[in-house]
Chains A and B, each alone.
Chain A
């Protein structure tokens, strides 16, 4: 059954039919018909952001914390170009987003009209797919297809560019079920013989590791459940990328911590020395592998990924399995149980002994202080005081992000929202707006840096407007800390432009924006201040003044291998925990 309506009404109708409750956006000339249609209904609630980049990040936070598609509505020209950073971020981290952009009327396209930009041209490389809908008859299909494409397979952002005359035009709207896609069919089920081969290889493993990533989160809660089952069944150690944190509980003894450039020693050494690596929904990113020719040289590799182009992109694997993580893991468990596969208990026991030696190095240790708040201490206290609550964490990008990833423990998926692939400073604050909107009763904390947070600061107004009690916990070290760290390590300590000059008074800033500001400068005051922050039912800007010189360790300097990590000076000194070869390198 089809209904006659305008293009603008179709947009709203399609959003409602796709189950969209919240839409993040910013009005402008070329989307006014859609805003007019929004005004006259109450199925979809619009959230007015302060900048279009914030709209996309908010939608990302919304999507990442719920597993649903995040929706954005922006105008033509600058509206669309401002959204590009967010779209690229969503593409890199595989976040399902549908972004509707207004466009100048069809007859003006290509004429350099006011607020015209080649939106499909600009967003082609930063979306999974995009549409320019020039004909009202094509609009319902484009809208429904967009949701299907955004959410299925490897998720990603989809842009629908709708000229203003198409928004006004009348046409027949039809419901989503009537639009099967002609060519797009992502493969969900893994090949049975590959899964069988993988299980056989895993059963023979003497030094195995499960290396998991954001794909496990994207695949849904079932995937995390299956991962936990597999880990329990096999007794294998588990590590994860930045994007995959929470899929496996950090409280579990089989958890090694995050791997990669700022991962733990035990995670990286396990990756380096393993003989069977099972990569589940991760993509061998350069922050993970370090030097490619020295990446886990002695291991057989199994790679489960829904995107065939992720396989053999950076690292050649022995058993590639294309399919959805949850589905493949379930099949793997079935095969494992049916075949009565047994692990080599003795070998595994020795492997764990070795891992425990690496753990004993305490690679995340830092020198505590009574004078100044160490950033690691701040994260540890924040974790200790919020771990029993229903909490969601977002971050900006930099040192604070790595410390949060290292030291905040995640027990469940969808609780950790961060910009991994693109590394977008300014992601966390708007993302927390989206998360809080989806989970109004939960505690949502943006762990931020004083530099990052200034990039999308204005979204604090959005939080105030919609009474979203987000907590922005700024680790204020008065530097772009990660930039400063690299300059210290690689550029002779010449701190070019990395000092945060002329910082605002964050407490007064918060007050000026009708939020609450808290400053804490002494370790002794920290617990009390954090408790105060948690207790306030409004947005809080927390200025946590930390040691400006602290660096984030451990660290694999790029171009180095996993066993060539730099450790902080508080880590246990070289001892039997590490072999002769390692001593030279660490």
Chain B
């Protein structure tokens, strides 16, 4: 013991900084469509403790083997900035665009909603589907499958309304996003 003063702390890591308010952002990530690229992106999120709220991925330019990954994530502005920079650092990533920051982006999601019921509930489900412009894509005499497209909150609302009417299950694509206007991302 050869110190002048001993100050005790319980950890040797700095405490977490007081958090700024978390925000939700939609990121469009253009990547080489090569094996493992999605694992790199997802691994980055899990490894660094970021959230994924929604993830959509598909090859969008077949000739160039480019895929577009759309990720909805939440974090403080500093964390969102980190996520973008960390994504950009991955070798197969070509571009990262923050659709939320860029402003004029359109976001859409598709859901298929299965509802089971008879009598008044069945009629009510069909009526609401019509109001939400959901299409019937499958029907039996005791069930419907509706297809609905729109913003996530519209889908949430529709699903909530279907719940007391005999909601069985929901399958959602996650968000796809694109910029308004004539320019590419």
Interface residues of A, Cβ cutoff 8 Å to B:
120-121, 124-125, 128-129, 132, 149, 181-184, 286, 289-293, 307-309, 311-313, 316, 367, 486, 488-490, 549-551, 553, 555, 557-560, 564, 566-571, 586
* B9 at the A interface (CB under 8 A): yes
A292 to chain B, nearest CB (A): 5
Q: In whole angstroms, what is the CA distance A551 to B94 when docked? A: 49
Q: In whole angstroms, what is the CA distance A68 to B92 when docked? A: 24
* B85 at the A interface (CB under 8 A): yes
Q: Chain B residues near A311 (CB, 8 Å)?
A: 85
Q: Chain A residues near B40 (CB, 8 Å)?
A: 124
Residue of A nearest to B85 (CB): A309
Q: In whole angstroms, what is the CA distance A120 to B15 when docked? A: 34
* B21 at the A interface (CB under 8 A): no
Q: Which of A488, A490, A569 contacts B12 (CB 8 A)?
A: A490
B7 touches A567 (CB 8 A): no
Within 8 A of A (CB), among B43-88: 43, 47, 78, 81-82, 85-86, 88
Decide: A289 near B12, CB < 8 A? Known: A124-B40, A183-B32, A551-B3: no
B18 touches A286 (CB 8 A): no
* B101 at the A interface (CB under 8 A): no
Q: In whole angstroms, what is the CA distance A129 to B91 when docked? A: 7
Q: Which of A312, A313, A559 contacts B14 (CB 8 A)?
A: A559
B89 touches A308 (CB 8 A): yes
Interface residues of B, Cβ cutoff 8 Å to A:
1-15, 17-18, 32, 35-36, 39-40, 43, 47, 78, 81-82, 85-86, 88-94
Interface Cβ pair total, 8 Å cutoff = 104
Would you give 5 A-B contacts (Cβ < 8 Å), ordered by A?
A125-B47, A307-B89, A558-B14, A564-B7, A566-B6
Decide: A558 near B9, CB < 8 A? Known: A309-B86, A311-B85: yes
Q: Chain B residues near A560 (CB, 8 Å)?
A: 7, 9
Residue of A nearest to B89 (CB): A309
Q: 7 other contacts beyond A121-B39, A182-B94, A307-B89, with CB at 8 A cut-off?
A: A124-B36, A291-B14, A308-B85, A309-B86, A557-B8, A559-B11, A566-B5
B61 to chain A, nearest CB (A): 12
Q: In whole angstroms, what is the CA distance A128 to B82 when docked? A: 17
A290 touches B88 (CB 8 A): no
Q: Chain B residues near A586 (CB, 8 Å)?
A: 4-5
Q: Chain B residues near A312 (CB, 8 Å)?
A: 78, 81-82
Residue of A nearest to B15 (CB): A559
B7 touches A569 (CB 8 A): no
Output the residue of A125, A128, A567 with the most chain B CB within 10 A. Answer: A125
Output the residue of B4, B5, B10, B17 with the most chain A CB within 10 A. Answer: B4
Q: In whole angstroms, what is the CA distance A312 to B2 when docked? A: 38
A559 touches B13 (CB 8 A): yes
Residue of B nearest to A550 (CB): B2
B13 touches A566 (CB 8 A): no
Residue of B nearest to A586 (CB): B5
Q: In whole angstroms, what is the CA distance A486 to B8 when docked? A: 10
B69 to chain A, nearest CB (A): 14
Q: In whole angstroms, what is the CA distance A121 to B14 when docked? A: 31
Residue of A nearest to B16 (CB): A292
Q: In whole angstroms, what is the CA distance A569 to B3 when docked? A: 5
Q: In whole angstroms, what is the CA distance A292 to B18 when docked? A: 10
Q: Chain A residues near B47 (CB, 8 Å)?
A: 125
Residue of B nearest to A145 (CB): B91
B91 touches A184 (CB 8 A): yes
Q: Chain A residues near B9 (CB, 8 Å)?
A: 490, 557-560
Q: In whole angstroms, what is the CA distance A312 to B79 when docked? A: 9
B2 to chain A, nearest CB (A): 5
Q: Chain A residues near B7 (CB, 8 Å)?
A: 557, 560, 564, 566
Output the residue of A120, A308, A570 with the most chain B CB within 10 A. Answer: A308
A128 to chain B, nearest CB (A): 7
Q: Which of A124, A128, A183, A486 contacts B43 (CB 8 A)?
A: A124
Q: In whole angstroms, what is the CA distance A586 to B88 when docked? A: 42
Residue of A nearest to B93 (CB): A183
Q: In whole angstroms, what is the CA distance A182 to B33 when docked? A: 12
A489 touches B3 (CB 8 A): yes
Q: In whole angstroms, what is the CA distance A292 to B35 when docked? A: 39
Residue of B nearest to A570 (CB): B2
A149 touches B13 (CB 8 A): no
Q: Which of B17, B92, B94 contacts A292 (CB 8 A)?
A: B17
Output the residue of B5, B6, B11, B12 with the most chain A CB within 10 A. Answer: B12
B13 touches A183 (CB 8 A): no
Output the residue of B14, B82, B89, B94 with the most chain A CB within 10 A. Answer: B14
Q: Chain A residues near B39 (CB, 8 Å)?
A: 121, 124
A569 touches B4 (CB 8 A): yes
Q: In whole angstroms, what is the CA distance A576 to B169 when docked? A: 74
Decide: A286 near B2, CB < 8 A? Known: A184-B91, A312-B82: no
Q: In whole angstroms, what is the CA distance A128 to B78 when docked? A: 23
Q: In whole angstroms, what is the CA distance A316 to B6 when docked? A: 31
A383 to chain B, nearest CB (A): 22
Residue of B nearest to A559 (CB): B9
B88 touches A293 (CB 8 A): no
Residue of A nearest to B77 (CB): A312
A552 to chain B, nearest CB (A): 10
Q: In whole angstroms, what is the CA distance A489 to B93 when docked? A: 46
Q: Chain A residues near B15 (CB, 8 Å)?
A: 291, 559
Q: In whole angstroms, what is the CA distance A367 to B1 when docked? A: 12
B4 touches A290 (CB 8 A): no
Residue of B nearest to A555 (CB): B3
Q: Which of A182, A367, A490, A569 contacts B10 (CB 8 A)?
A: A490
A568 touches B78 (CB 8 A): no
Q: Chain B residues near A553 (CB, 8 Å)?
A: 2-3
A313 touches B82 (CB 8 A): yes
Residue of B nearest to A286 (CB): B14
A92 to chain B, nearest CB (A): 13
A240 to chain B, nearest CB (A): 20
Q: Which 7 A-B pairs have the closest CB atoms?
A: A309-B85, A558-B12, A129-B91, A183-B94, A308-B85, A559-B9, A309-B86
Q: In whole angstroms, what is the CA distance A557 to B14 when docked? A: 9
Q: In whole angstroms, what is the CA distance A586 to B4 when docked? A: 9
B93 to chain A, nearest CB (A): 7
